[in-house]
Amino acid sequence: MRRKEGDVTCPASIDKVLQTVSVCRLGMCSNDTPYVVPLNFTHQGTTVFLHGSKVGRKIDVLNENPNVFFEATREGTLVSTPTEKNICKSDFSYQCLMARGVVEFVDDVGEKMQILDAICWKYYGRAGTMPEAAVRGTCVLKIELKDISVKQSGVWAE
- DSSP secondary structure string, 88-106? GG-EEEEEEEEEEEEEEEE
d(CA 55, CA 98): 26
Mean pLDDT value across residues 64-68: 98
d(CA 76, CA 62): 32
Closest by CA position to 151, among listed 76, 79, 45, 60: 76
Judged against a pLDDT cut of 50, whether residue 1 lies above it is answered with no
Closest by CA position to 107, among listed 140, 85, 75: 140
pLDDT tens column, 101-155: 999 999 999 999 999 999 999 999 998 889 999 999 999 999 999 999 888 776 6
Rounded to two decimals, the pTM is 0.85
pLDDT tens column, 11-38: 888 898 899 999 999 999 999 999 999 9
- Identify whether 27 is part of a domain: yes
Judged against a pLDDT cut of 60, whether residue 2 lies above it is answered with no
- Identify whether 17 is part of a domain: yes
Domain with 99, as residue range(s), is: 7-49+57-105+143-153
pLDDT for 87 equals: 75
The CATH number that applies at residue 91 is 2.30.110.10
CA angle 107, 111, 114 (to 5 degrees): 135
Number of domains, the chain? 1
- Identify whether 116 is part of a domain: no
Judged against a pLDDT cut of 70, whether residue 55 lies above it is answered with yes
pLDDT for 6 equals: 52
- Identify whether 36 is part of a domain: yes
> Residue 121, SS3?
helix
> Residue 81, SS3?
coil
Higher-scoring residue by pLDDT: 67, 81: 67
| Minimum mean pLDDT range among 1-15, 61-75, 109-123 | 1-15
18 Cβ contact partners less than 8 Å away, ≥ 6 residues apart: 43, 48, 72, 97
